[in-house]
Chain A
Amino acid sequence: MRVVLAEDLFLLRDGLVRMLEAFDFEIAAAVETGPELSKALAELDPDVAVVDVRLPPSHTDEGLQCALAARRARPGLPVLVLSQHVEQLYARELLADGNGGVGYLLKDRVFDAEQFIDAVRRVAAGGTAMDPTVIQQLLSRRAADQPLGALTPREREVLELMAQGRSNAAIASQLVVTERAIAKHTSNIFAKLGLPVSDDDNRRVLAVLAYLDQGR
C-alpha cells in the first residue's frame, strides 16, 4: 500500500516512516511543506495520505487545506489527518463531502502502533477513523438529549466506538464480547435513534456522525 506522508517535524516524520515501513507500507513520498504535499498528492496517486494539519510555509492549517483540495480533485481520496489538537470544526469539514475515507486523529494516537496502523488501513479502505476525543465531545454535549439519553450504558459505549469508525468485529474484540452481541446492540441503537439500518460499515459510521453533529 503506497502512502504519502506530510509532517514538518523531522523526528515525527522519521518515526512515522519507520513505523509505516515496519507494517509493510510503501512510502511514496515523505514531505514537509504544503506545496510539496499538494504536488505529491496530485502526481503520485497514493492509496492513502497521512497529513499533519499544520505545515510550513504558512504554519496555519495548510495540511488540512491541501488534503481537502486534493479530495475535491479526487473525491474519496483516503486522507488521515493528524494534529496536536482536535477540533470538531475541522472534523466536520473533513466529513462534509460524505465520501468516507477520512481520518482525524490526535498525534498521541501514534503511541499505540497497532491501533494507529489499523486506523490507516481503515481509512485506506474507504472507512472512517475519528479521534475518541471528537466523539466524546459530540456525545457529552448531547448526553441529556432524547433519544440519546435512552441508550443503555453499554449501547453508548458501542455507539462511541462505532462513531470512531470501528467495525463490529473490532468493537467486539475491544469490549470482549461476541460479534453477534455487538450486532444486536447496533440494531438496537439504530432503532432507538431512528436511523436507517445499513449493512455497509462506512455508510453506517457516516450516518451516526451526521446524527451526532446535527442540531447545531
Chain B
Amino acid sequence: MKTSRVREALLSGARGLYLAVATLAGSITLFVLSVVSIVLIPLGIGVFTTPVVLQMVRSYANARRSQAEAWTGIRIPSPYGRRPGGGQGGVVGQVARCTRLLKDAATWRDLQWLLVDMTAGFIVVIFAPALVLYPVYGWVLALGVWEPIYHAGGGEWYGFIHVDSQTAANGAAVLGTALGVLALFLNPSFVRGHFLLARTLLAPTAAMRERQLAQRVDRLEETRHDAVDSSAAELRRIERDLHDGAQARLVAMGMDLGTIEALVEKDPAKAKQMIAKARQNSGEALTELRDLVRGIHPPVLAERGLGDAVKALALRLPVPTDVDVELAGRAGEPVEAAAYFAVSETLTNAVKYANAERIWVDVHHAEGMLRIAVTDNGRGGAVIGAGSGLSGIERRLGTFDGVLAVSSPVGGPTMVTMEIPCELS
C-alpha cells in the first residue's frame, strides 16, 4: 500500500517532468511555427508550409490525447474530421488543403491549446517533479552542502528558510520531507489536472460533435448505398451464373436421360455413350456450383475462419506467397467475408497486373482493428480510383468503416493495407 503510493508519486513526478519539457519544447515551437506559417500565407510560402505544420500540431495533440488515456484514463476524443483521401495535386490542391484546415474550428482550438499548454499546462504539471526533486535538494543541503554555498557568498534560500547554519539546513530537510509527503498525496493529481485542462480545449465542442455526427451520417448513407448496390449486383451475377451454368447443365442432363430411356433397348451402345455424357455433364455442373459457392462464401472461411482461408487462398496462387496470421479469435462473419474478398481481390491484382514474383500477406488484430497488409515485389504504380479494382475494395470495406491505403511507387514494391474496426470472439 505504502510502496505503491511512493511508486505512484515518483512515476507521476517523472511523467510531470516529461510533460513539462514537452510543453516547453513542443508546444512553444509548434505555436511559433504555426503563427509564422499563417502570417506567411499572403506571401505564398505559407500556403505550402501551413498544412504541414498544422498536421504536425494535430499529431502532437493526438499524442497528448493518447497519453491522457494511457496514463490517467482520461479519454479525450479527437475532433478532426475524416481526411478525404487523395484530392488534387499541385498548387490548387495545396491551396484547397490549406483553406480546409484554416476553416476547421479544430485547428484554432489546437492553437489555443498550445498557448494554454505552454503556460497553465506547464505550471500545473511542473509541481509533480518539483515536489520530488525539491525535498532531495533539502536533504543535500542538510548533509553539508549548505556550507560551501554559504561561504561562497550565496545567501541560499530553501523555501522560506534562509540557510545560514546547520540548524537552518536541518530545517530545510524537515521542510523538504514535508513537501515529499505532500507529493505522495498530490502528485498524481497534478498530472490528472494537466490532462483535464488539456481536455477543455482538445475535446470537440458540442457544435463540432454535431458536425462530426452529420459527416458520419453522410458517410453511412454513402456506404449503405454502396453496400445495397454491390449486393444487388452480386445477386444478379449469381442468378446469371446459375442460369447459364448449373441450371442449363441439369436441363441437358434431363434431356439426355430421356433419350437414354428411349434408346436403352433399341441401341444399348449409343445409350451407354450418352450415359457417359450425362455423367460428365453432372460433374461439370458440380464444378460450376463449387466455383460459384467459392465466390459467394468460400468453404474454408466457413470452416476455419479468416486466417486459414487466406492461407488456403495463397496456396492456390501461382506466385509464392508467405502468409503470417496473428488472430486470437474469429471476427464476425460479415467482417471476415469482407476482409477475405478484399485480400482475394488484392492478390489477384498483384498476380495479374503487378507481375509480382513474391507476395507477403500479414493479418493481425490489435487495438480493436483488424489489420491486413499485402505486399508484393511487382512493378508498382497501382492507384485507387479510375475504375481500378482497388476502389471496389475500398467501397466494400467502407461498409464496415474499414479503410484502404495503397503505397505503390512506379517500379514497386506495392503495399496495400486495410484496416477494419472489429472485435474478435
Q: A: which residues have CB within 8 A of B?
A: 53-54, 59-61, 83-85, 87-90, 108, 111, 137, 140-141, 215-216
Residues of B within 8 A of A216 (CB): 315, 320
* Given A54-B303, A60-B302, A89-B300: A111 touches B282 (CB 8 Å cut-off): yes
Stretch at the interface among B37-45, B155-163, B286-294, B339-347: B286-294
Interface residues of B in 273-313 (CB under 8 A from A): 279, 282-283, 286-287, 290, 293-294, 299-300, 302-304, 308, 311-312
- A88-B312, A140-B318 are known; give 6 further A-B pairs, CB within 8 A: A89-B308, A90-B312, A108-B283, A108-B286, A137-B315, A216-B320
A66 → chain B, closest Cβ, in Å?
A: 13
B423 → chain A, closest Cβ, in Å?
A: 20
Interface residues of B in 234-286 (CB under 8 A from A): 279, 282-283, 286
* Given A84-B290, A88-B315, A89-B312: A61 touches B283 (CB 8 Å cut-off): no
Closest A residue to B289 by CB, please name it.
Answer: A84
| CA distance in complex: A108, B302 (Å) | 21
| CA distance in complex: A59, B333 (Å) | 14
Checking A60, A88, A108, A140 against B303 with a beta-carbon cut-off of 8 angstroms, the contacting residue is: A60
Most buried by A among B283, B300, B302, B315: B315
* B315 contacts A89, C-beta separation under 8 Å: yes
* B299 contacts A84, C-beta separation under 8 Å: yes
* B315 contacts A85, C-beta separation under 8 Å: no
| CA distance in complex: A42, B418 (Å) | 45
* A61 contacts B303, C-beta separation under 8 Å: yes
Secondary structure call for the B interface: helix
Closest B residue to A87 by CB, please name it.
Answer: B312
Closest B residue to A138 by CB, please name it.
Answer: B315
B212 → chain A, closest Cβ, in Å?
A: 41
Closest B residue to A92 by CB, please name it.
Answer: B315
B327 → chain A, closest Cβ, in Å?
A: 16
Chain B count of residues within 8 A CB distance of the other chain:
21
B240 → chain A, closest Cβ, in Å?
A: 22
* Given A61-B303, A108-B283, A111-B283: A88 touches B294 (CB 8 Å cut-off): no
B352 within 8 A of A: no
* A137 contacts B316, C-beta separation under 8 Å: yes
Closest B residue to A53 by CB, please name it.
Answer: B303
Q: B: which residues have CB within 8 A of A?
A: 279, 282-283, 286-287, 290, 293-294, 299-300, 302-304, 308, 311-312, 315-318, 320
A141 → chain B, closest Cβ, in Å?
A: 6
| CA distance in complex: A85, B316 (Å) | 13
Q: Pick 10 A–B contacts, CB within 8 A, sort by A.
A: A53-B303, A59-B302, A83-B299, A87-B300, A88-B315, A89-B308, A108-B283, A111-B283, A137-B315, A216-B315
| CA distance in complex: A59, B304 (Å) | 10
| CA distance in complex: A125, B294 (Å) | 34
Residues of B within 8 A of A108 (CB): 283, 286-287
Residues of B within 8 A of A137 (CB): 315-316
| CA distance in complex: A88, B314 (Å) | 10
* B308 contacts A85, C-beta separation under 8 Å: no
| CA distance in complex: A116, B422 (Å) | 45
| CA distance in complex: A59, B318 (Å) | 30
Residues of B within 8 A of A90 (CB): 312
Closest B residue to A134 by CB, please name it.
Answer: B315
* B283 contacts A88, C-beta separation under 8 Å: no
Residues of A within 8 A of B283 (CB): 108, 111
Closest A residue to B286 by CB, please name it.
Answer: A108
B260 → chain A, closest Cβ, in Å?
A: 16
Closest A residue to B298 by CB, please name it.
Answer: A85
B245 → chain A, closest Cβ, in Å?
A: 15
Residues of B within 8 A of A215 (CB): 320
Checking B279, B290, B304 against A111 with a beta-carbon cut-off of 8 angstroms, the contacting residue is: B279
Residues of B within 8 A of A60 (CB): 302-304
A138 → chain B, closest Cβ, in Å?
A: 9
Most buried by A among B286, B287, B303, B304: B303
Closest A residue to B284 by CB, please name it.
Answer: A108
Residues of A within 8 A of B299 (CB): 54, 83-85, 87
Residues of B within 8 A of A85 (CB): 290, 293-294, 299-300
| CA distance in complex: A137, B282 (Å) | 22
B263 → chain A, closest Cβ, in Å?
A: 21
Residues of B within 8 A of A89 (CB): 300, 308, 311-312, 315
Closest A residue to B280 by CB, please name it.
Answer: A111
| CA distance in complex: A8, B389 (Å) | 39
Residues of A within 8 A of B300 (CB): 85, 87, 89
B218 → chain A, closest Cβ, in Å?
A: 39
Residues of A within 8 A of B287 (CB): 108
B106 → chain A, closest Cβ, in Å?
A: 47
Residues of A within 8 A of B312 (CB): 87-90
The 10 residue pairs across chains A and B that have the minimum distance between CB atoms: A61-B303, A88-B315, A89-B312, A60-B303, A87-B312, A85-B299, A108-B286, A108-B283, A141-B318, A89-B311
Residues of B within 8 A of A140 (CB): 318
* Given A60-B304, A61-B303, A61-B304: A88 touches B279 (CB 8 Å cut-off): no
Closest A residue to B294 by CB, please name it.
Answer: A85
| CA distance in complex: A89, B286 (Å) | 21
| CA distance in complex: A89, B287 (Å) | 19
Residues of A within 8 A of B318 (CB): 140-141
Residues of B within 8 A of A88 (CB): 312, 315-316
| CA distance in complex: A215, B320 (Å) | 8
A213 → chain B, closest Cβ, in Å?
A: 9
